[in-house]
Amino acid sequence: MNRIETDLLVIGAGSGGLSVAAGAVQMGARVVLLEGHRMGGDCLNYGCVPSKALIAAAKTAHAQATSEKFGVAPVAPKVDYAAVMDHVAGVIATIAPTDSQERFEGLGVTVIREHGRFLSPTEVQAGDHVITARRIVIATGSSPLVPPVPGLEDVPYLTNETLFDLRERPRHLLIVGGGPIGMEMAQAHVRLGCKVTVIEGERALGKDDPETAAIVLNRLRAEGVEIAENALAATIRGKPGDITVETKDGRSFAGSHLLMAVGRRANTERLDLDKAGIVVTKTGIRTDASLKTANPRVYAIGDVAGGMQFTHVAGYHAGVILRSALFALPSKARSDHIPWATYTDPELAQVGLTEAQARERHGNIEVARFDFAHNDRAIAGRATEGLIKVMVHRGRPVGVSIAGAQAGEVANLWALALANRMKMKDIAAMVSPYPTIGEVGKRAAGAYFSPRLFDNVWIRRAVGLVQRLLP
């Protein structure tokens, strides 16, 4: 058995683990990185990167079919599904070197391509290596959650880990789960020429603001996506090319392919966490505000920590723990400023609290609104479906809900504002280039101040007095 002593051991080479490893080794720490599967983790290989590549291809096909509004004759797109998936694979291959073993070994990280399991609070075994580390970071991410629906075990089904291996276009894709993954893949596939049915046990896009989510869902339905809500899958039966999902209320949906997209589960089963004194809950590893586990030498970050499951959250967590693990300085993670986006068309984004959450937490709030239909760049691009809502408490934004073109990009401004606890006056003071979609943020701030300026009788009297006194 080969024994290694190190300053920092990172278990998992997804986005969070790679960020920790790169940051720590470049600041002088000895770092060992374990990865028993693919470098880059879910985001590069099965999640963010391939899904956005597929969405880009689908958007191109849709643009060909809907160009008439720009004075350009539309054509029926000829979709080569295998070639589309080759494009997806090519995008992954282009980004992969950034996350590769070679790059990290070049930085000075010791990379071991084995799964890790705890032997004690300070020791982890990976293959024929036993690593002792001063600090350990668990960044093993999450995997698709496949619920125990009767009959599912006898039916071929896809998850986000197998969907991008397809080379034959599904005739009719059934998607169980109406969250971000399900809705993104639904729109992408209907634009690529598939028939698509989404089967959701509660409300589609249920974690987002209902008003902005409705804008997206209406567009998807208009494009041909069938969305069945309050349709909890009860039984699944069939064979390759002929699958039926029956719901508890008696509805039945038949299709050729089945995608399970009901959520994620934390990857903890291989780790033998009990040997390290680490507590696991139903959602993941239990941590405190500094992302330490019950074992103070061990941190858990990203999806495995059981909170928000986004790549950028794992990256944020990496920055939080580096301060603590490398410099022994206090550092805590926040969640009130975290953004997320769903890359449908129009896009859907959220920063901080939804309107309902803001009212529950703060009681008295104001909601500033601005419609994309009044944004000149959106009008020029025929992309006027959309709305931005800013929830304001005591002059400070506490949440922003956006549905519309480039909503994920528009959210960047508000992520900055909430992270730095800026006020609405700071947003109003910004000068936005014209014409841009991003101007909707400033216009929302303007909508907040308009009644204070234009409907205020004292301001009107003051202006009148000043004008009478001026020479």
pLDDT score recorded for residue 345: 97
Query: Would you call 45 helix, strand, or coil by DSSP?
Result: helix
263 belongs to an annotated ligand binding site: yes
Average pLDDT, the chain: 95
303 belongs to an annotated ligand binding site: yes
Q: Tokens for 243, please give them.
A: 């699958």
Residue 455: pLDDT band with limits 50, 70, 90: low
β 226-228/195-199 pair status: parallel
CA dist., res. 153 & res. 301, Å (int): 32
Mean pLDDT of 168-188: 97
342 belongs to an annotated ligand binding site: no
pLDDT score recorded for residue 466: 78
179 belongs to an annotated ligand binding site: yes
* Residue 15 host element (H or E): helix 15-26
Contact in structure between 86 and 242 (CB atoms under 8 Å): no
184 belongs to an annotated ligand binding site: yes
Q: Tokens for 69, please give them.
A: 């509004």
Residue 136: pLDDT band with limits 50, 70, 90: very high
Closest CA to 352 of 323, 385, 322, 393: 393
β 347-352/396-404 pair status: antiparallel
Does the pLDDT at position 462 exceed 90? no
Right CATH number for 2-39+100-144+265-327 from 3.40.50.300, 3.30.160.250, 1.10.510.10, 3.50.50.60?
Answer: 3.50.50.60
| Domain map (residue ranges) of the chain | 2-39+100-144+265-327, 152-262, 339-454
Contact in structure between 101 and 21 (CB atoms under 8 Å): no
pLDDT score recorded for residue 8: 97
201 belongs to an annotated ligand binding site: no
16 belongs to an annotated ligand binding site: no
Contact in structure between 246 and 215 (CB atoms under 8 Å): no
Does the pLDDT at position 451 exceed 80? no
Domain boundaries 339-454, CATH class: alpha beta
What is the Cβ-side half-sphere exposure of residue 343, based on CA atoms within 13 angstroms? 17
This prediction has a pTM of: 0.93
40 belongs to an annotated ligand binding site: no
277 belongs to an annotated ligand binding site: no
Which amino acid, 463? V
Cis peptide before 346 (omega within 30 of 0): yes
Contact in structure between 407 and 347 (CB atoms under 8 Å): yes
178 belongs to an annotated ligand binding site: yes
According to CATH, the topology of domain 152-262 is: FAD/NAD(P)-binding domain (3.50.50)
pLDDT score recorded for residue 453: 61
94 belongs to an annotated ligand binding site: no
Q: Do domains 2-39+100-144+265-327 and 339-454 have the same CATH topology?
A: no
Residue 449: pLDDT band with limits 50, 70, 90: confident
Residue 321: alpha-carbon gap to chain centroid: 21
User: For residue range 283-314, what is the model confidence (pLDDT) as tens digits?
Assistant: 999 999 999 999 999 999 999 999 898 999 99
Percent of the chain's residues with pLDDT above 90: 93
250 belongs to an annotated ligand binding site: no
pLDDT score recorded for residue 165: 96
What is the Cβ-side half-sphere exposure of residue 173, based on CA atoms within 13 angstroms? 29
Closest CA to 238 of 225, 257, 251, 260: 257
Percent of the chain's residues with pLDDT above 70: 98
Does the pLDDT at position 379 exceed 90? yes
Q: Tokens for 205, please give them.
A: 């896009």
181 belongs to an annotated ligand binding site: yes
363 belongs to an annotated ligand binding site: no
- Conformation bin of residue 233: beta by default, left when phi > 0, alpha when psi is -120 to 50: beta
Which residue bears the tokens 């893949």? 185
CA dist., res. 274 & res. 120, Å (int): 9
Q: Tokens for 260, please give them.
A: 């399970």
pLDDT score recorded for residue 425: 96
β 123-126/129-138 pair status: antiparallel
